[in-house]
Each structure stands twice: as C-alpha cells, then as structure tokens.
Amino acid sequence: MTILDTDTTAPSPVAGYEAGAAYLDGAFMPVGEARIPVTDFGYRRSDVTYDVVGVWEGSFFRLDDHIARFRASMNALRLSPPETDEEIRAILNTLVATAGLTSAYVAMDCLRGVPKPGLPRHPMNARNYLSCYAVPWISIASPDQMTRGKHLIIAQALRIPPESFEPRVKNFHWGDLTAGLFEAADKGADTAVLLDIDGNVTEGPGFNVFSITDGVVATPARGGLDGITRRSVIELCADLGIACEVRAVPAAELRDADEIFTSTTAGGIMPVSRIDGRILGNDRPGPITTRLKDAFWDKRAAGWHATPVDYGAALKRG
C-alpha cells in the first residue's frame, strides 16, 4: 500500500475499508480482517491495555491526551511496542482517513503477545504489539437515553480495588463491570455504577460518574479511571463558574442527588434521570447537566482541543 498526497477534504472510504480500518502488528487492513491469535496473553489473560479517542466533524478530540494516557498505561504494565507516540498518532490518523470517516470511534490496544520460542512462559519474554482500529462513531447512550436521561442502579457487585489493580490503567478486567450490567438489565435499568468496599462511588462500565447537590458537582477521586472526558467536564465547570469537587462520593449522596450524569469518550456527557428507581427532577435531564452537555458540544464544534484529521494520509491499494 502507498500513501496519497496530503488532502484535507474527507474522502470516500478506500475500497474494502467501508466498515472501518485496522492496524495490527505493523500492518494495515480492513477492520473485518484483523485477527488476534487465540494463544496471545492479551486474550488468554486479559494482559492488554487500551485507549479510545473520538473523531467528530473531522477532528480528533484531545488526541495528545489520549496517546499520553495510553503510553502511561503501557509503561505501568511494562508493555513496549516498537511504535513511538508520534507513529501511533500517524497510524490513528491513517485509519480514520482510509475509512473516510468524519465521526469515528478510534481504539488503540497494546497486547502482551506470546513468549518467544525457547523462553519461559513469563510475560517479560513476550513480544508486545499494537492493535488499532477506526470504525463509525459509537455511543454507549442511545438517542432516547440522551433525551430522557439514563436509568441507573447501584450494583451489588463491588469494583476491583486499586490495591488489586489500578483502574487508572485502562484494562479489560471487566468481570465486575459486566456483572453490574447484568444486574441493571435484571432490574429494567440501562446501566450500573459500582461502589468500593467502603461504600463510595467508583465508576460504571466505561464511564465516570458525577453527582450534583445544591448546585455543586462532585466526582469520585479514587477507584475509577481518570477519564479524558471527565477532565473536560472539570475544565467546563471552571469555565462556567460551577463548583466542582473531586472527592469521595458516598452511595447515599448519589442516591439523594439533585442531578446525576456520566461521561465517556463514546457519548460525551450523558444525563441520568433515575437512580435505583428514584426519579430525579421531572424524569428528564437536569438544568446543570444540560448546561454542561450543551457547552461541551458547542465548544467541540468551535474547535476545543481539536486535531483535524489529515485525510491525505489515506491508504490506497497499490
């Protein structure tokens, strides 16, 4: 494959890449052709880290922040793929351009791999590699949920404690989060939030949590991912003059909150209108939540933390 000349206009997807584009262990391919070996420690032991960055209206959002967090996670797990941060940046751009996407869900994974032949089956002997892909935009909240607000429960399953595995290192250890999702479904709710052993809120399956009480926004300081969208919400609160506290949030405070919302790359700011069956406000997104959500997308449209996609980096068959 060869690279096209630079062009800032979003092209049609390259033939064969209509469903999305992937980069696996040094090679580009249509997303449907990407395969992880069943022997890989990333699959067999969930020995992998990942990050996800969004593209909206032709621009990445906080691309450098996502790559920096990805690198920090790799370093924490002693994963060392051959690609530099600048090369990862170029790979992600090429994937989006090749698939011709103006709005995209762009994932980057680093897998442990397998021990090299003749060496003990210890993770330090494995060859690490990247698996990345870009597909059309994915949101974990449906349009209906965004309009009415998500219905949330506090799960019985507890979050894996930081003392066992640091949640600020993005990972696929989702046994507890998956249990919470099934609890929510059993109770007719959309999703769940998990507590720690002390009864404080941590996070939900793929999102951070915020409560609003008496006009003050609060989000847990411990037990969950330091989300990039969470960081953006904290910045927005400062810009809008809304008090925001990063601290322990007890379950009782969340259950009694005036408003609740969640945040993630795949959805932005997502309102909550019910918690454990209790209706918040008028069973619709609250005013502060709505103000933050609208400001988030308005600033995104104006180029906040944006890195335009270089569509000239698209691949072509050659």
Residue-level pLDDT at 4: 43
Residue-level pLDDT at 34: 98
* Token code pair at residue 59: 């621009």
N- to C-terminal Cα distance for the chain? Answer: 5
Residue-level pLDDT at 11: 78
* Token code pair at residue 231: 């960081």
pLDDT tens digit at each of 318 positions of the chain: 434 444 557 779 999 999 999 999 999 999 999 999 999 999 999 999 999 999 999 999 999 999 999 999 999 999 999 999 999 999 999 999 999 999 999 999 999 999 989 999 999 999 999 999 999 999 999 999 999 999 999 999 999 999 999 999 999 999 999 999 999 999 999 999 999 999 999 999 999 999 999 999 999 999 999 999 999 999 999 999 999 999 999 999 999 999 999 999 999 999 999 999 999 999 999 999 999 999 999 999 999 999 999 999 999 754
Q: Is the pTM of this model over 0.85?
A: yes
Give the strand pairing for 150-158 and 191-195.
Answer: parallel
Q: Which value, in Å, is the radius of gyration of the alpha carbons in the chain?
A: 20
Q: CB–CB of 204/42 below 8 Å? A: no
Task: Round to whole Å and give the CA distance between 70 and 57.
Answer: 23
Residue-level pLDDT at 9: 75
- In the chain, the domains with their CATH numbers are 2-138 (3.30.470.10), 143-301 (3.20.10.10)
Residue-level pLDDT at 5: 42
Task: Round to whole Å and give the CA distance between 284 and 144.
Answer: 11
